[in-house]
Structure 1
Amino acid sequence: MKYEILLYYKYTNIRNPEKCMFEQRALCEKLGLKGRIIVAHEGINGTLEGTVKSTRAYIRAMKKQRGFSNIHWKKSEGNGDAFPKLSVKVRSEIVSLHLGKKSDIDPKKITGIHLSPQTLRSWYEKGEKFTIIDMRNDYEHKVGAFAGSVCPPMKNFRDLPKVLPELKRFKNKKVLTVCTGGVRCEKASGYLVKKGFKDVYQLDGGIVSYMEKYPGDDFKGSLYVFDGRVTMAFDPKTGKREIIGKCEKCKTFTENYEDCGNSFCHKQMLVCDTCVAKTGGKAFCSKRCMNKAKVNA
């Protein structure tokens, strides 16, 4: 049985998010889909897994719904274990910048120019001068990123305003924002435009769409994903890619993510199997967390 993972979003006006939430939950349960969906007045953002038959039925159903007919679907191979359950929730934003209602970015009104993967590839081939700004969290780009990209130290997306001062040197240059599937860049690029950046683009469909067309080109390492796979290789058939992630303990190359063994922390970090074994099969981000775990054991 073949499984498929769908990654998608759509900024569109949803008048009744609660009603949409119940409809989405009913549809996914009917089709046996698992994953996460966030619904807000500003739109919908989801990652789902199911059999290919079920995911295609979901797409057909969504295309019949007002506001969802022209969603850009990102598809990748699944294994049936990407998600333990289905979660459909209503939030104030589908990706949280926490700027407040008056300062929030509406991608339907202000956003960077969409750049196709094909055009980005041509930029590389022509030697175009541009700067890639990675809008993902710091733990994501540690395992993979575009060569030469600027990776601001953001713990989460709402840190963008905090790192703006160090991005101001690119204000008058051509910049391209990138993220996993594109949803964060819709707001991030719009935020840069609002702050006076002159020449702002966003990678249409995100890194996932680029890797579908150009596996192994320009993006080094593997792609962090928010499901049971944790990382995604550019060439799923061979799994070949350059490993750039480094163990936070011994600095050897690894793509193994672990959650801090302190149940009150759970910080995610890159730790090799050897270092995990040295601490009894659990990884700890600090001695403090290790000691707390011992006390609470």
Structure 2
Amino acid sequence: MTKYNTLLYYCYSAIEDAEQYAADHLKFCKSLGLFGRIIVADEGLNGTISGTADACKTYMDAVHSDARFATTEFKIDEVDEPSFVKMHVRYKSEIVHSGLRDPKIINPMEKTGKHLEPKDFLAMKDRDDVVVLDVRSNYEHSLGKFKNAITLDIENFRDFPAKINELAQFKDKKILTYCTGGIKCEKASALLLHEGFTDVYQLHGGIIKYGKEAGGEDFEGKCYVFDNRLAVDVNSVNPVVISTCFNCGKQTDKMINCANPECNEHFTQCDECGTALDGCCSNDCKSHPRKREYDGTGYYVKIPQPVNEKKGAKV
């Protein structure tokens, strides 16, 4: 039986003519039979891809052979089937959108928080002089987060800078930031340092690596991921479910997207409400004329747009 892998990775490294690189990279990924989503920017790469174990190894070897990306760390999951159905490579202004592109404020290639390996994060996180900070969006931390972590009311990471003032009360503490794979923490920790926080750390490899190397201890709930799995288990030490059904309040850790494409809300929903509402967040969405067919997963492939390989567009 064919074994598949899903790779999560990022690398901050300057790319000259990144738009052309994106177009070439798309062709390379397609030649390997890979599926996934990669963002290319002048500042680096950010990707989640999936394919056979052999294809994924060939891809990792190719990335590592490029001196710009030689230190890229891949988080590898074994999966029963590819975690995507299409291959996208897009050129964008940032590999994670912060809205702050002034290198004098944020430049992860020059200055970020101190990287903590999972075992060190585990050892530090419960100290009295420490604050654990989740820098992810609402729908992510509502599904799962570290016990006692500070969470922020943000819809997207670009909302993070506006929340810095809310964290001023913790300036005398050690700030331990975390996110899914580490990429958001590179910019979040850099911004905190710029704003006068003096003792800032980040969980190296994020929640995913922490689950693999520290058993996910004290991570409550599941981790949201940006592929058709939607959520993955992290904690094999003391797991609990913290999320509840958006509709009835029953405890559930099933994350879906609303079947109404004009809503497409990320939310948790139990199977009973999923059946009753046909994968929608409300009766209004259930009756929407463009409602997609609900297959029980709550994951939907985006409608294809015209192809423009010169721009690294999706195929």
Could you say whether these structures have the same fold, taking a TM-score greater than 0.5 normalized by the shorter chain as the test? yes
Larger displacement relative to structure 2 (93-102 or 197-206) = 93-102
Q: CA RMSD in A?
A: 2.3
Q: Distance in 2 between matches of 1:233 and 1:121?
A: 18
Q: Distance in 2 between matches of 1:177 and 1:240?
A: 21
Taking a change above 3 Å as real, the CA distance of residues 102 and 54 of structure 1, as seen in their structure-2 partners, is closer
1:2 positional shift = 0.8
SS in 2 for 1:19: helix
Larger displacement relative to structure 2 (41-50 or 17-26) = 17-26
1:239 positional shift = 11
Q: Distance in 2 between matches of 1:145 and 1:102?
A: 30
Q: How does 1:231-242 map to 2 (within 5 A)?
A: 231-234=231-234, 241-242=239-240
Q: Distance in 1 between matches of 2:286 and 2:122?
A: 49
Q: Distance in 2 between matches of 1:241 and 1:234?
A: 8
1:263 positional shift = 3.0
Taking a change above 3 Å as real, the CA distance of residues 102 and 11 of structure 1, as seen in their structure-2 partners, is closer
Mapped contact 2:4–2:82 kept (Cα < 8 A): no
Kindly provide the CA deviation profile for residues 263-282 of structure 1, in whole angstroms up to 9, marking residues without a partner as x: 32211111111122233x13
Q: How does 1:280-291 map to 2 (within 5 A)?
A: 281-284=278-281, 289-290=284-285
> What residue is the counterpart of 2:258 in the other structure?
260
Q: Distance in 1 between matches of 2:237 and 2:250?
A: 19
Larger displacement relative to structure 2 (79-88 or 96-105) = 96-105
Mapped contact 1:35–1:83 kept (Cα < 8 A): yes
Taking a change above 3 Å as real, the CA distance of residues 132 and 221 of structure 1, as seen in their structure-2 partners, is same
Tell me the amino acid that sits aligned with residue 189 of structure 2: S
Q: Which residue of 269, 274, 277 maps to 1:276?
A: 274
Larger displacement relative to structure 2 (142-151 or 101-110) = 101-110
Are residues 1:50 and 2:44 paired? no
Kindly provide the CA deviation profile for residues 135-194 of structure 1, in whole angstroms up to 9, marking residues without a partner as x: 111101111111000010110000002222211111221111100000110000001111
Q: How does 1:147-186 map to 2 (within 5 A)?
A: 147-186=147-186
Q: Distance in 1 between matches of 2:31 and 2:185?
A: 32
Q: Distance in 2 between matches of 1:296 and 1:221?
A: 29
Q: Distance in 2 between matches of 1:275 and 1:30?
A: 42
Q: Distance in 2 between matches of 1:16 and 1:295?
A: 39
Moved over 4 A (4+): 294-297
Larger displacement relative to structure 2 (212-221 or 258-267) = 258-267
Q: How does 1:210-221 map to 2 (within 5 A)?
A: 210-221=210-221
Are residues 1:105 and 2:106 paired? yes
Mapped contact 1:39–1:91 kept (Cα < 8 A): yes
1:122 positional shift = 2.4
Identity %: 36
Kindly provide the CA deviation profile for residues 238-278 of structure 1, in whole angstroms up to 9, marking residues without a partner as x: 89932211111211111222323433221111111112223
Mapped contact 1:116–1:203 kept (Cα < 8 A): yes
Unaligned runs of 5+ in 1: none
Q: Distance in 2 between matches of 1:251 and 1:49?
A: 34
Q: Distance in 2 between matches of 1:239 and 1:86?
A: 35
Mapped contact 1:98–1:104 kept (Cα < 8 A): no
Tell me the amino acid that sits aligned with residue 21 of structure 2: C
Tell me the amino acid that sits aligned with residue 214 of structure 2: Y
Tell me the amino acid that sits aligned with residue 81 of structure 1: P
Mapped contact 2:261–2:290 kept (Cα < 8 A): no
TM-score of the aligned structures, taking structure 2 as reference length: 0.86
Q: Distance in 2 between matches of 1:243 and 1:168?
A: 31
Are residues 1:247 and 2:245 paired? yes
1:16 positional shift = 1.1
Q: Distance in 2 between matches of 1:177 and 1:83?
A: 29
